[in-house]
Amino acid sequence: MKTFESFGADLKRHRSEKNISLMDISASTRINLKFLEALETGNFSILPQTYVRAFLREYADAVGMNPDGVLKTYDEILLHKQGGEPKPATKPQSVSRKTPDSGALAPVAAFARQNALFVVFVLLVAVFVVYLFRQTSDAPRATTIAETPFDRVVEENAAAMSQRDTAVILPAVTNPAAVDSLSLVMTTTDSVWMTITLDDGPTREYLFAPDRRGRWTAKESFTLTMGNAGGATFVLNGKPLGTLGRPGAVIRNVRISAENLSSP
């Protein structure tokens, strides 16, 4: 039986054979790059569980796989992992029955024989009442797996990323000596994935579509890692820096500081 790890490896092998990068899939589906990497490692625990099937369907479609077949394999592995295999039937035990024609039940048996029609009628009424009670109290539970529409997934994923974007410009401070002195503006010409660190602060991750604009401020420096380095141009404090690399190239830990203003 396949595991999630081998399932993810199959996805990655098929993508590699098609010569498609994760950046290409992320740009076309707008799925966060770290979620695509989780699919290929079989690490479904870090994914938003509501979106797993939607992510798998879009991934399969992007690399030319059959989405229904991919989802069927995922469901089979999930069912096996949850212990959903049928259990062997237990052998019914024989039950010995004793006739109530002797001892303390003898009068009851005699009454039943003499009033057979009445007893049958009472039993039928009892069965009917029990049936009505079960029909009203035991509502059937849905067992089908609901898939989240991918349009909603994209909207919520984009909304989450836009919320992170609003935190790019640091709030103003009252101490003039602590005001940020560097302003970096980026304009994209193609889809760009990037991370940026402002001074020694936390690293932030973005996925920009073409014709988008980003602005960050810092006191001393910016440190960037980018996929498709030629897909964006930069301006530092009004000075054009151009692109940071060739189209499709990946650059890592490029530092931009006040020194770039004095360089030709």
Domain extent listing, the chain: 4-81, 173-262
pLDDT tens digits along 39-61: 899 888 877 777 888 889 999 99
**Starting at the edge strand that comes first in sequence, how are the strands of the sheet with 182-188 ordered?**
213-218, 182-188, 232-236, 239-242
- The segments of the chain whose pLDDT lies below 70 read 84-115, 117, 119, 132-133, 135-179, 264
Please name the fold of domain 4-81: 434 Repressor (Amino-terminal Domain) (1.10.260)
pLDDT tens digits along 167-220: 334 333 334 444 679 999 999 999 888 999 999 999 999 988 999 999 999 999
Q: Can you give the pLDDT at residue 41?
A: 93
Contact 74, 168 (CB under 8 A): no
Please name the fold of domain 173-262: Immunoglobulin-like (2.60.40)
Could you tell me how many residues make up the chain? 264
Cβ burial of 55 (10 Å; 0-12, 13-18, 19+) is: buried
In 146-262, alpha helices (H): 150-165, 259-262
Per-residue buried b or exposed e for 218-241, using 16+ beta carbons within 10 Å of the residue's own CB: beebbbbbbbbbbbbebebeeeeb
Cβ burial of 154 (10 Å; 0-12, 13-18, 19+) is: middle
Q: Can you give the pLDDT at residue 87?
A: 47
